[in-house]
Amino acid sequence: MSRKSATVILLERDCFTMSDSWVDRIELTRYAGCKFEVTGSKDLGAPTLELPGNLPITQVDGITSPRALYLALNDAAMMLDVELEWVDAIPMIAKLDWITAAVIAKDAGHDVPQLPSFETLVSQRSLTSIRRMGQVTIGAEWGYDMHELTMSFEQWLRILGGERHRVEKPYLYEGKIYLGVWMFDGKGGLVVGIDYEGEGWGGCLVDLELIDGPKLDDVDLAKLAACAALPKQ
């Protein structure tokens, strides 16, 4: 499933001198395949015979890496001699693609935007694309052992988005096989029931001893999504 192109304006600033006026603008366009284009320009107003209406200063397309996008946006700001306010820009980028915005925020030390609904994520990246991103492994410790559960990144996002989920998985303890029941409550919590003494682990998903998922620019997307998901009331 392809995604239609969309554009957001990350910066628009009116500038004046004694003789001229213009608008500095940085636009970000997202195309199918999660490819981005950065355009920095000076809008000089209505075109004349002497001057074009819009004067492109820099344009970079085919960007797929969040880090490359971060650099391209900073370069555009530098060439326009403006300062890009990332506290405002990151939420705008998230409207085009939350994953890209979240990686930029994490990498650059800014606040990660709240995780949107699963439906919004699928509207930004196709379900096929999300499924191809790989698996998530989580781990909870009880009985002095680490117990792991693996699921698709899609399922992890559904759980973080509020979906209740239940998985039964046997585990070995002191030479015997027991049954662990992993119960995700849809509110950011998890309880693992064990059949020999009740509860093995319980708490918030972000407090799990192990969260390991697909990486983008060396940033773990499973951890990032877990930290950005607000507990459901």
Residue located via tokens 């970079």: 60
DSSP conformation class of 231: P
211: number of Cβ within 10 Å: 20
| Residues lower than pLDDT 50 in the chain | 1-2
**What is the predicted pLDDT for the residue at 1?**
38
43: number of Cβ within 10 Å: 16
167: number of Cβ within 10 Å: 14
Residue located via tokens 């998901």: 229
DSSP track, 158-187: HHHTT--EEEEEEEEETTEEEEEEEEE-SS
Sheet strands side by side (includes 189-194):
165-173, 176-184, 189-194, 198-204
DSSP conformation class of 206: G
**What is the predicted pLDDT for the residue at 231?**
73
For the chain, what are the domain ranges? 6-113, 129-228
**Burial category of 157 from C-beta neighbours within 10 Å (exposed 0-12, middle 13-18, buried 19 and up):** buried
